[in-house]
A = this chain, B = another copy of it.
Amino acid sequence: MNPEEFRAAGHALIDWIADYRERLTALPVRAQVGPGDVARTLPHHPPEEVDDFASLLGDLDRVVVPGITQVQHPRHFGWFPSNASLASVLGDLASSGIGALGITWQSAPALTEVEEIVVDWMRRLTGLDDGWRGVIHDTASTSCLVALIAARERASGYAAERGGLQAEPAPLVVYTSPHAHSSVAKGALLAGYGRENLRLVDVHPVTQAMDAEALAAAMADDAAAGRRPAAVVPTVGSTGTTAIDPVRDVVRVAAAHDAWVHVDAALAGSALLLPEYRWMIDGAEGADSLAWNPHKWMGTVLDCSLLYVRDPGLLVRVMSTSPSYLRSGADGQVTQYRDWGIQLGRRFRALKLWFHLRLDGVEAIRERLRRDLANAQWLAAQVDAEPEWRVLAPVPLQTVCIRHEPASLVAPDGTILDGEALDRHTLAWVEAVNASGGAYLTAAKLNDRWMVRVSIGVEGTERADVAAVWELIRKEASRIAQS
């Protein structure tokens, strides 16, 4: 495809995207396809002929749009928000169109230096002190794995340079909350710690936040038994209930064992743009690393995860490579981001953040976040006020955890009379809501019982959308309770 063909097709695709975003609200939120349905629409053999662009656009309509759950839809309340703001989409297009290669500072100095500047802007905008330095990774999963590997190496005295983790006599241990994201346990296992060395520390029964005294006791037990506490991962805004672990206390406890503290604020980091929410990471300056995803609630299109560290040298010592074919005269005077993570080749991801901040403006983003926080409080108040409905966890952020508790299944004092029937009821009404196409919600387990998360924060979600999902929820739950 030459530039002139690109010009014509590109204009058509831009229009297609604009139209798609405008007509989103008319689509069912959950993809209405079953396993294999999409694959069956496509040939098994690769194309032999060249297609015209119109047929590609036709396939976006025919195959792709009906085949995805519309997470940009204002009535999407599932998982966490995954906003792809159109300003950031343009930044990502600029990145692809320019086609820079981020393997070394020399290959694209601007890719490195714009990233340094923009992650530093984000540091200032979120109130982090100037002792933090940042990098853009793809996801919080990667950021956490990078932190856990760096922690492993620091705790083992850089065993990777010798016989590796397998030569270490003292088991290294990782601590997190049972409500930590699945990527924390996965990262610990991928890094080689082993499941027996992963401690899920007790949480407070109401806030669901990690109990720092239980953490202290677990670390002391391990140390007394000859094991070495290597890392603690507190979560700020857990996936289940947006619980907020006490960072300052965790840092204090971890410091006694010289353990790495990685703060996982994947969702909640967006709220740090609001000064009134910075209490959430009080004490984080004593941690070693902190990650959050602008590609969630803030809305810089996936993939865009910020990892901040107090001492980049601890990453570089573990991740650095310098084969002859990557050396240049600038080495030693510049940042080599390849040494801060797993991948050598990096996209120019800073452009999407740059475009997002400059075209939407941080004040407009803040207003939107405050709107969502207010909508969550409003919804929680509605649920609280409704007989047989319950808000199951505090609502510090934008997610409201709810359950319909019919009198036949739950006593007035909250005692669950028939837990399995309650689970069946919960899963039935959430499935009815999702199958309707009118909204999408995620069920999750809390204290071994199913509940439903209403996670507010899509760019287009207004109060009317929250009111509408609440009406749909009540309608489906009562219909099912009566059937």
A333 to B355, CA, bound (A): 40
Given A89-B96, A171-B166, the answer on whether A324 and B7 have CB atoms closer than 8 Å is: no
| A93→B60 CA distance, assembly (Å) | 12
- Interface flags, A1-24, vs B, CB<8A=1, else 0: 111111101110111111111100
For the complex formed, measure the closest distance between the CB of A103 and the CB atoms of chain B, giving whole angstroms: 7
CB pair B6–A21 under 8 Å, yes or no, is yes
User: What are the 6 tightest A-B residue pairs by CB atom distance, in nearest-first order?
Assistant: A164-B194, A67-B110, A84-B99, A17-B97, A10-B14, A46-B121
A-B contact pairs, 16 of them (CB 8 A): A3-B86, A10-B90, A17-B94, A31-B110, A44-B117, A64-B98, A67-B110, A67-B114, A72-B98, A89-B96, A92-B93, A99-B302, A138-B138, A152-B192, A165-B165, A192-B192
A60 cross-chain contacts in B, Cβ below 8 A: 94, 98
Do B345 and A303 have beta carbons less than 8 Å apart? yes
List A284-300 residues whose CB lies under 8 Å from chain B: 293, 295
Contact B50 A79 (CB under 8 A): no
A474 CB within 8 Å of chain B:
no
Number of copies: 2
Interface size on A, residues (CB 8 A): 164
Q: Decide if A49 is an interface residue (CB 8 Å cutoff).
A: yes
Query: Which residues of B sit under 8 angstroms from A377, Cβ to Cβ?
Result: none
Q: Is B442 a contact of A325 with CB atoms below 8 Å?
A: yes
A26 within 8 A of B: no
Contacts of A66 in B (CB 8 A): 110
User: Which residue of chain B lies nearest to A451 when distances are taken between CB atoms in the complex?
Assistant: B324
- Those of A306-335 within 8 Å (CB) of chain B: 318-319, 321-327, 329-330, 333-334
Chain B residues whose C-beta falls within 8 Å of the C-beta of A324 in the assembled complex? 240, 443-445, 450
Our pick among B49, B99, B186 for the contact of A301 (Cβ within 8 Å) is: B99
Q: Chain B residues with Cβ under 8 A from A20's Cβ?
A: 97-98
Cβ of A18 and Cβ of B10 under 8 Å apart? yes
User: Which residues, 87 to 125 on A, are CB-close (under 8 Å) to B?
Assistant: 87-90, 92-94, 96-101, 103, 105-111, 113-114, 116-117, 120-122, 124-125
Q: Which residues 105-149 of A have a CB within 8 angstroms of B?
A: 105-111, 113-114, 116-117, 120-122, 124-125, 138-139, 141-142, 145, 149
Output the least CB separation between A132 and chain B (Å).
15
Given A46-B357, A50-B361, are A162 and B13 also a contact pair (CB < 8 Å)?
no
Tell whether, in the assembled complex, residue B46 and residue A362 are in contact, meaning their CB atoms are under 8 Å apart. Answer: yes
Contact across chains for B6 and A89 when beta carbons are under 8 A apart: yes
Are A333 and B35 in contact (CB-based, < 8 A)?
yes
Contact of A105 among B35, B44, B141, B167 (CB under 8 A): B35
Q: Assuming A79-B107, A138-B343, what are 15 further A-B pairs, CB within 8 angstroms?
A: A1-B359, A3-B21, A6-B17, A6-B90, A17-B98, A38-B109, A46-B125, A47-B361, A53-B359, A67-B108, A96-B301, A164-B189, A166-B168, A302-B347, A325-B453
Minimum CB–CB distance for A11 against chain B, Å: 5
Say yes or no for A392: interface residue by CB 8 A criterion: no
Name the distance in Å between A364's Cβ and chain B's nearest Cβ. Answer: 7
Asked if A195 CB lies within 8 Å of chain B CBs, one says yes
Residues of B within 8 A of A103 (CB): 79
Query: Are B185 and A109 neighbours in the complex by a CB distance under 8 Å?
Result: no
* In the complex, chain B residues whose CB is within 8 Å of the CB of A362: 46-48
Give the CA-CA distance A365 to B1 in the complex, in Å. 11
A50-B107 contact given A193-B164, A319-B186, A325-B443, CB 8 Å threshold: no
Pairwise interchain contact B190-A149, C-beta atoms closer than 8 A: yes
Complex interface bits, A181-216 against B, C-beta within 8 A gives 1, otherwise 0: 111011001111111110000000000000000000
Contacts of A125 in B (CB 8 A): 46
Q: Say yes or no: B192 contacts A165, CB within 8 Å.
A: yes
What is the minimal beta-carbon distance from A368 to any residue of chain B, in angstroms?
12
> From residue A456, how far is it (CB to closest CB) to chain B in Å?
16
CB distance from A426 to the nearest CB of B (A): 11
